[in-house]
Amino acid sequence: MQKPLIRVSAGIIRNEFKQIYLTQRLEGQDFAQSLEFPGGKVGEHELPEEALKRELEEEVGIHVLSAYPYEHFSFEYPNKIIEFYFYLVEEWVGEPFGREGQEGFWVTQSELDAGQFPPANGMLIQRLRSEC
């Protein structure tokens, strides 16, 4: 059987202190306990940027004012292929929090640790660390 292809949009929410807001995936989700950039699946009739804005409202309660495409790549997991759209978000309204009960915290960009994220995030974390 062919692996399903899903599209995922996620936000690199960065404040003026070069800290990035991360959340921890919940028990029962795939990659439970991993850190993640908040985001989720792009709906069938949705643009990636629309999905980003919707997901950040739903998951961390912020209203995104502007978002810039940062990385776009596909990653093959054993059971699915994910096409990722990562956006840099530096302008928003509200204070992010784990709106679905998940933990959330600010981490300094240079201290991001790829080992705490799902495997797909490796290259992205490397790039973020190198750009500090």
Binding mask 28-47 for ligand 8DG (x = CB under 6 A): -xxx----xx-xxx------
Edge-first strand listing for the sheet containing 5-13: 39-41, 5-13, 81-93, 63-76
Q: How far is the CB of 2 from ligand 8DG (least distance, A)?
A: 17
Q: Is residue 98 involved in binding ligand 8DG (CB under 6 A)?
A: no
Q: Which residue, 42 or 128, is less far from Mg ion as judged by CB?
A: 42
Q: How far is the CB of 39 from ligand 8DG (least distance, A)?
A: 4
Cβ–Cβ under 8 Å, residues 10 and 51: no
Q: Is residue 98 involved in binding Mg ion (CB under 5 A)?
A: no
Which pair of structure tokens corresponds to residue 23?
A: 């959340």
The overall longest dimension of the chain from CA atoms, in Å, is 47
What is the b/e burial string over 58-84, where b = at least 16 CB atoms within 10 angstroms of the residue's CB?
A: ebbbbebeebeebbeeebeeeeeebeb
Residues that bind ligand 8DG (CB under 6 A): 8, 10, 29-31, 36-37, 39-41, 55, 82, 118, 120-121
Residues that bind Mg ion (CB under 5 A): 40
